[in-house]
Amino acid sequence: MGEVSKVAIIGTGLVGRGWAIVFARAGCQVALYDGQTGAASEARRIIETSLQDLKASGLIGEPEAVLARITPVATLAEALQGAVYAQESVFEKVDVKRRIFSEIDAVIDSQTQVGSSSSGIPASAFTEHVACRARCLVAHPVNPPYLAPIVELVPAPWTEPETVSAVRTLMEAVGQEPVQMTREAEGFLLNRLQAVLLMEAWRLVEAGLASAEDIDRTVKYGLGLRWSFMGPFETIDLNAPGGIADYARRLGPLYQSIAASTTEHEVWDEALIARVEAERRALLPAEQLAERMVWRDRRLMALAQHKRNVEESAR
């Protein structure tokens, strides 16, 4: 980024901490604010460890310089003073979000824009009452945002188009990959896509058609390989000699037939959950879950490093 900008992180839990790394890594000054006393300072300590991990994976050069840009502050007003942008990452509860947006509204500068990390609650549910609402939107990340660069920008009906474009520009400048929705829809893009796949995965197990393990392996050794560098539309564009229209004409009837056979959407019942849980726990005992999460993050770091090398050599 050109000139050094200040960004406020409001709520310094798992996601707020991740955002702090994104902005500080890109050269922004980052103010950390959390409603719980001591939480922002504690967050900075956890960030320090994450930065060491990123350095060990070759993803950042100087953790000390990144950390030096991150400052815990005691008040929301202090966090927001002079900030070009604020990323709200408080609890996923509509009343908590409504209250923090009232508090933000009381002290925000006239130019600051605010993105909410909200996973499912649309901005229209917690920004209608505030004067700064035209400068608010959802900016939904995937955890951790410093390894998974996607950010879903979802405007409320009253979000100004200039807000969406400015936040998009900022996100690109700090190395994220924004995608934009034209209006609110439950689950945004990522979880709507994930929902379709997950619904079908559970249904296949319920119908006794395959094990949970083989469904995971189908993604791990099949679909997921391509999906880590291109999406479903590009995948099918390259999967027929004449491109996507050719694919759609050849295989449209098959997909329509599959879709017609799976219109019922059962809620995952307890018996089914118990079956899949038993299968997963046989493969990964509960006491090894935390260790496996660390393994996942290291794999993600290795993948991020690989993708960065490939993208650099393609330039």
Residue 261: CA count within 13 A, CB half-sphere: 10
Give the separation between CA 29 and CA 43, rounded to whole angstroms: 16
Sign of CA dihedral 257, 196, 311, 138: positive
Phi, psi values for residue 86, rounded to 5°: -125, 135
> Residue from 52, 111, 143, 165 that binds ligand NAD (CB under 6 A)?
143
Nearest distance, CB of residue 287 and ligand NAD, angstroms: 22
Determine, following the binding rule CB under 6 A, whether residue 35 of this chain makes contact with ligand NAD: yes
Quick one: angle between helices 289-314 and 39-56, nearest 10?
A: 60
Give the separation between CA 115 and CA 123, rounded to whole angstroms: 9
Q: Which is nearer to ligand NAD, 39 or 272 (CB)?
A: 39
Q: Where are the alpha helices (DSSP H) in 108-154?
A: none
Nearest distance, CB of residue 232 and ligand NAD, angstroms: 22
Give the separation between CA 86 and CA 9, rounded to whole angstroms: 6
The alpha carbon of 187 is separated from its chain's Cα centroid by a whole number of angstroms, namely 12
For ligand NAD, which residue has the nearest CB?
Answer: 13
Q: Which is nearer to ligand NAD, 77 or 204 (CB)?
A: 77
Which residues in 67-126 contact ligand NAD (CB under 6 A)?
89-92, 96, 99-100, 117-119
Nearest distance, CB of residue 18 and ligand NAD, angstroms: 8
Q: Which is nearer to ligand NAD, 13 or 27 (CB)?
A: 13
Determine, following the binding rule CB under 6 A, whether residue 36 of this chain makes contact with ligand NAD: yes
Size of site (CB under 6 A) for ligand NAD: 24
Determine, following the binding rule CB under 6 A, whether residue 149 of this chain makes contact with ligand NAD: no
Q: Which is nearer to ligand NAD, 92 or 237 (CB)?
A: 92
Residue 24: CA count within 13 A, CB half-sphere: 29
The residues that touch ligand NAD, with contacts defined as CB under 6 A, are: 10-16, 34-36, 39, 89-92, 96, 99-100, 117-119, 140-141, 143
